[in-house]
Amino acid sequence: MNARFMVWAYAIVLVGLFVYPFESATDRLLRALWNWFHFPAFALLAWQVTARFAQAKRSVVIVVWVSMVLFVPALELLQEHTGRNFAWEDIWVGWAGIAVGGWLLPRRDAAMRRYAYRLVAAGCISLVTLMPTLWVLTDRMLMLDQFPVLASFAWPGEEGRWVFSDVEVSRTRAHAGHDGRTWQVKIGASSEYPGLFMTDLIHDWSRARGLLIYLYLPDAEPLSMWVRIDDREQAAFAERYQAKKTLEPGLNRIRIDWSDGLIAEGGREMTLNRIHEWGVFFESDAGGRIVYLDRVELERNGYSAGYR
């Protein structure tokens, strides 16, 4: 089969793979793996292109390489029109793949020892591009090991499990009661309902009796906080569980009990073995105030994981 046809066919396949929204909307590990896939995908493209134009004029080679380099951000720009986001991280990973793929094509005059050095260097670059995926994988393993604890705030990788809306979060040792660390949550004033929601979590809560949230309120005035639980993606108001809680100054232990079922706003009993996301949010008048999140866990068999 013609080599030029193979190069163009593969480039078209890349457009389909990286522009069409195949990736999971909720699974952070699958998203990380998909983002890293830019590296081997563009490395293979560069390998093919370099082999195809190995005997071409220098001016042609320069044009081809510039085209490959521009091809990566062009795909990212196209993604914005298919429901996916432009990401510089994907561009850098793709460029790294292009560099390695073109660099590793064996030359007839290349000494084996020199080529072995290239292979080692390429492996190191590949490992660097894989680090974000390994970071997410480590967090996933810790998540499984700590369950039924949903959040201990003990290490920075937990931040990726959450989506933040008009809140500033920082790890601190202040008011830590369980694992030596808390999240200081500074509530913003630019949105109607600032909050934070855990979207990367273990979804089966059916063996639990309730949800426990440990917080510390440093202010002298009480603060209203809402707890929201969804068992469906983009759930309408009637399809979600919401409960308003009042935080008092000092340590607070918020308990959401579903011993007799968890009922959504519209009266439907929620499906506890497929919780999609949960979170807390505040009202618009809470802007500027601070709370400390200490621990979040599911309650099983009448006691919490924190007191086993």
Is the model more confident about 19 or about 222?
Answer: 222
- My answer on whether 155 and 302 are in the same domain is yes
Kindly state whether residues 124 and 161 are assigned to the same domain. no
Distance CA 135, CA 143 (A): 12
Q: 228 with 259, same domain? A: yes
Within 10 Å of residue 89's Cβ, how many Cβ atoms? Answer: 14
Q: Does position 262 have pLDDT exceeding 70, yes or no?
A: yes
Instruction: Tell me: do 9 and 129 sit in the same domain.
Output: yes
Looking at the fold, whether 123 and 173 belong to one and the same domain comes out as no
On average, the pLDDT of the chain sits at 84
- Whether residues 159 and 188 fall in one domain: yes
CATH no. for residue 238?
A: 2.60.120.260
Q: How confident is the model at residue 83 (pLDDT cuts 50, 70, 90)?
A: low
**Are 170 and 223 in the same domain?**
yes
The C-alpha atoms of residue 303 and residue 51 are separated, in whole angstroms, by 64
Tell me the average pLDDT across 144-148: 93
pLDDT digits (tens, 9 = 90+) for 2-35: 556 566 666 666 666 666 555 545 588 888 888 8
- The residue segments making up the domain with residue 72 are 3-145
pLDDT band at 70 (very low <50, low <70, confident <90, very high): confident
pLDDT of residue 254 exceeding 90, the answer is: yes
Domain boundary among 101, 127, 145: 145
What DSSP string describes 131-175?
A: HHHHHHHHHHHHHHHHTTEEE---SGGGGGGEEEESEEEEEE-TT
Residue at which a domain ends, from 118, 145, 172 = 145
User: What's the rounded mean pLDDT across residues 141-170?
Assistant: 93
Number of domains in the chain: 2
Q: Which residue has the higher pLDDT, 268 or 302?
A: 268
Q: What is the pTM of this model?
A: 0.79
Same structural domain for residues 89 and 132? yes
109: pLDDT strictly greater than 60: no
Percent of the chain topping pLDDT 70: 85
124 and 31 share one domain: yes
Residues 59 and 174 in one domain: no
Final residue before a domain boundary, out of 145, 168, 203: 145
What is the rounded distance in angstroms from the CA atom of residue 168 to the CA atom of residue 161?
15
Other residues' Cβ atoms within 10 Å of the Cβ of residue 133? 17
Distances (CA, A) of 112 to 57, 108, 115: 26, 10, 5
Among residues 163, 145, 122, the alpha carbon closest in space to that of 202 is found at 145
**Residues 157, 301: one domain?**
yes
Residues 243 and 117 in one domain: no
